[in-house]
Amino acid sequence: MKTYNINPEHLRVIHQASPGIVKSVNESVVDDSSTTWENDEVQVRVPFSIAGVGTTIVLTSKFTGKIMLLDVGDGALRDLLQMGNMDFVNDIDPIALSHGHFDHIGGLYTLLGFMRMMGRTTPLNILIPKGCIQAISVIKGYREIHRATLPYTIWYHELSQGSGFDTDFFKVKSIEVEHFSLESDSGEGLLEPALGFRIGVGGTVVGYTGDTRLCSGAEAAVRDTDLAIIEATRKKAPASGHRVHLSLSEANDLGKLAKEFILIHEVPEAYLQRP
């Protein structure tokens, strides 16, 4: 896997040469499945993001070493361990989940279990969309199963449009976005409880669309941010007009609202060649 370490000076050069575009990740299953962006205040790592498999985004404050996670897809624990130390066991807080689909919360149970095994003692706050039953079920179920032997407290907070949640190191604002339950919906599907986020780390603002079709919420999540992290699942918009995810062109257009951006959650070519 390739990791791209980009300093602010380099980012400005990239922006001038190709406005807004930093790097589109996940061009194949094996290569380019991770990317890194950083400035003087925060490092943003996307260790893995492939649609239908898993997405995890790691924000690390350079002043404190504290960590915030955006989504916890399958393999999130493996990706955190590959960072090279075990500090994340106590340093992660909060975790923000954009919605309840498996490729965004599939690693949550494993991560909670590892923190328990390693003796985490500090409380953990998990931010979820209001009514996200998948996340609530995992969190409540884990707390109930291990209530007699859980060394740390797990709190979950249901957020809606404009909700805020601040720690000493991360300032979070939630923005409702539009994301349907199934990719194959013909227009009758249900909208999932789904959020994008704007996160302040010092004077830096990072925006994340989560999974969404093109909507005002997606625009609000990324507008004027220092870095926007944007899903780009579809190669092109479906002819039917029923929209579940952003197309590549829409994602690139959204990225131009931010100072810099990264595209994630793409579908590898290998998926498109299925029999």
109-134 residue pLDDT tens: 999 999 999 999 999 999 999 999 99
Amino acid letter, 85: N
pLDDT at 263 over 70: yes
Report pTM: 0.86
pLDDT at 275 over 50: no
Cα–Cα distance measured from residue 218 to residue 215, given in angstroms and rounded to the nearest whole number: 5
- Phi/psi of residue 272, nearest 5 degrees: -75, -15
**What pLDDT was estimated at residue 147?**
94
Task: Classify residue 266 by its DSSP letter.
Answer: B
As given in the structure block, the two tokens for residue 32 are: 């380019």
CA atoms within 13 A on the CB side of 120: 22
Residue written as token pair 């994602």:
251
CB atoms within 10 A of CB 200: 18
**What pLDDT was estimated at residue 186?**
62
- Phi/psi of residue 255, nearest 5 degrees: -60, -30
Band (pLDDT 50/70/90 cuts) for residue 34 is confident
Cα–Cα distance measured from residue 242 to residue 187, given in angstroms and rounded to the nearest whole number: 6
Question: Domains plus CATH for the chain?
Answer: 8-270 (3.60.15.10)
| 251 compared with 27, residue with greater pLDDT | 251
As given in the structure block, the two tokens for residue 30 are: 């094996």
- Rg of the Cα atoms in the chain: 18
Mean pLDDT for all residues in the chain: 87
User: Which positions ≥6 away from 114 have C-beta within 8 Å?
Assistant: 77, 89
